[in-house]
Structures are given as C-alpha cells and as structure tokens.
Structure 1
C-alpha cells in the first residue's frame, strides 16, 4: 500500500495561504464595518496572530503529525547563535542596500510608505509596533513557513527545492514586490538554518532581529546614509565601506556557522556529501 504524501505540498501550501489571506480580508472587513479602515500596529498584530494561527492549526490537522514534530524548538550552542547573529547583521545591511536599489527602480506608492512608516517608527505606539513586528510576525510566520510548510516540503522535494520553494511562498505572502526580495533572501537563510539545526530557534531569533532593526534605529543616534534614512525620504545609497562591512559580516558568519555544523553530529546532515547543502531528497 502506497504511503500518503506529506502535507503540505506546493499547491496545498498555496491553498492554505489563500485561506489565511481570506481570513485576513474578513477580519479587515469587520474592522472597517466599525469605522476602522486603517488598522493600528496593535490591531494588525491581533489580526495576524489569529488568522495565521488558525491556518497553522488547520495545516497541522491535515498533516496528521504531532506539534513537536512539525515545530521543533531547541536552543543552539552559543557559538552557533553568535555566528547566526553576525550573519544576520551582514544580511540586514546588504538587504537594506538592495531595498534602496528596488525603490530607485520602482518607487513604492505613498499609501504603502505611510503604512510602513506607521508600523516601523512606533509613531502610533512603540508597544504595538514591537508586538506586531518583533513578537507576532516571527512567531506566526516562522511556525507557518519554516515549520509547517518547510517540514512538508522536505518530505516531498530535495532540500534545495524545499528551501527555495518555501522561501518563494514566504516572499509572495508579503503581497508586494518591495518586500519580496528581502523576504525571499531571509527566508532562504532561515530555511537553511532550520535544515541544519532541525529547530525553529535560529529562524525565530533572526526574524525578530531583522524586524526589530527599524525600531532600534528610531531610538539610537545612528546616521548612516541610505540605512537609517526615513522610508519617505529621497532614496540614497549606502557608503561603500558600509556595504563591504555587511558583506564581510555575512561571509564570516556563514563561514563560522559551517565550521560549527561540520564539527558536530547533526541529526539531518550526518550522511551528507555536500557540507553546505545536501541536495538529496529526504525520506
């Protein structure tokens, strides 16, 4: 008797994401019915937490797996955490420059800039922005994309395919081209970290650090052209030395991570032929 294929596959994931998006539109409609057409950061946090959690719960039911199997959470050794933070710091710098390039080629509409500014500057309340960006977004999105979806993909596709496909869906789920590139790149990094550690801890940490950066920049006196500038300001590119710093941090962090992963017996990679990424399908 042939064993049922793991849930979700690619098209099943698209269906699940469409269902979550419909939940979000219904929630937004309910708020609009009460005269709240522009949601605060706190309300966005509430809507996203409820709708994405509902989608995760439904996906877990269809997967017929235990919560701990789909959403493993174990703390990693200090050197690995340090290297992951260094990698994230470099990635944040380089993706900031990529965002500058994207906004130069395709300027975002004013209404979208206003939404981002309200959410990332904490103007409507720092607690609401912190809750939406640093708590709810990492928890819900990592459990959905690196937990439920990537877990299913790893049982259906090669590791490289699983990482790229799940990251593509992560980028697409942001529903705008200005966030797609950054979300796809970070999603690929988080997915690789999950494959290497079989834990959501580092993806959660990296996601929270990335989302916290705009809030941190509003509270500290740092002025780096193109990095700490306001979203609505004229697009400026970062200094070359700052981009080089980002590249050095990214490469150094990945190098340290790879050394750490090679030095320990990993549950997923003990039989790997490629030290960076095994392309064979998991069974």
Structure 2
C-alpha cells in the first residue's frame, strides 16, 4: 500500500494555474524525487502535500489519513526540512535538536541524530559558526527529530560545494537504510539520478513522466554516442566515417576535423569493428569514449528546456 497518494491536485493564484491535475503515489522506504523547470509547480505541490496550503481541488492521502480529518496524526508522521531562518543561531546544534524534540510526544535521541548527520564533533558550536553544509545537515536532523515515516527535503544541497553535497547524499542513503521514505526536490540531475528510486518530472503544473532513472533513460533511446579522435589527421577521420557508415549498428555519424562522433545501437561491436579497421589502416586514435544518456537528456526531451544548476 502506498504511504502517500496524491490525486488530481490543482492550485491557482489568480490567473496563474500553478498545479493542474498532478497525481502520483509514493511507496514506503523509497526516495521519490520531484524535478522540473522553474515555475513548474514543484514547490506548490510540495507545500500542499506538507499541509502548508490547501489545494483548490484534489486529494492527498497518507495511507488512511487525510489533512481535513487527521491533521494532527499526519504531522506526527512527516518531517519537513526547515529553512535556515527557522534555526536559532545562538544555540548549538544539540540545543536546537533538544528544543525541537520537546515539541513532540515521541522524539529520536539527539545523540543519534547528531551521529547520523555527522555533527557530533560540532554539537556544542553555535549554529551561526557552522558552515553552509553543516547547517544543511542540521536542518535534515531537525526534520528527523520526531522520527517521522516521511521526510521532505526541498533542494537540500543547493549552494553547497561538491564535498558538502556528497555529505548530504550519504545522509539520504542512511535514511533509506533506516526505511524512511524521502521526498526530495533538487536542481542537480546527477543527484536525482544517483539517489532516486523514482523520479517525477513536472512541467507547467503537470506530471510529464514518472519512473526509475534507469527506466526513463532506457525509454528515451537505446542509442549510444561514441566519440573518436584521430591522431593521423582529417583524412583518417574521413576514412573512419566512411567505414562507420557501412556498419549496420551505426545509425548516423558526424565529423569535425579529426574528431568523429557516431550513434550506434551496439557500441561494443561497433568499437570492435572500428579498432580492427584502424589497426589495418595503421591509424592512431588519440581518444575514444562512449557517452551514456543521462537523466538530463530525459529532462530536456520531456520539457524542451535545458537544465542549469
């Protein structure tokens, strides 16, 4: 049984139709990621699910619970990553966690939360002295303090350096190992592809596609792009292009100077044939690579918009 079901959510602000019939379900223990261009309706959808605003129409169910009849019970089941402004800068991480824990009948151990978010060594430093990554880890810890079943993380790695971002990834992986359900929004395609069990792409207030990252990529195309660079000049690249066009597995080619790009349904066989060809011709290859399709390619295909971090 899904832990969360969203059915035909709609929300308008005057003439702006922010959300237009969004529906999906989330299974227990999965990392479910919502991505989309700016203005796609991600934040509005998330805020309706979190109970921060009511939909114009549509239904939100947490198992047998809904916001109209079971608001108190739902609040005990969910944890929401607070914005940094919700923290008390003059208190320490331990004091912030202890304070938030006092708001709930049941709370997870502060020491355990500090361990999970890797802030044990900084637990007695004032929040204002923490780095951006440490503050984000504390925000996730505050979302976890009530030991919720579902944790909402809204762009938790935005603005962080690569190492701090990966520290957050480790926490999300730990949440999964604890069988917590994580609903994530992110601006980073690599993050969504690496962490998510399923990805929901939203555009213009609607769900345009939803599946696991690997299935979304596989549905897009089975073609793979192979890139070669010839040390022996443009003549070698031209010969390589003519040879490639004779291979059944090659769909199309594109040559520029000494570089050759080709698209193939079977990169292994194509490369094997190309290596035999270059050896027979005594051509030297400077660089060879296979470009796999990514979640960013899926995003662009479905929304027509280039993703920018």
TM-score class, shorter: under 0.3
Q: 1 or 2, which has the higher strand percentage? A: 2
Provide TM-score, normalisation by structure 1: 0.23
Say which structure is richer in helix.
Answer: 1
- More relative contact order in 1 or in 2 (CA 8 Å, sep 6+)? 1
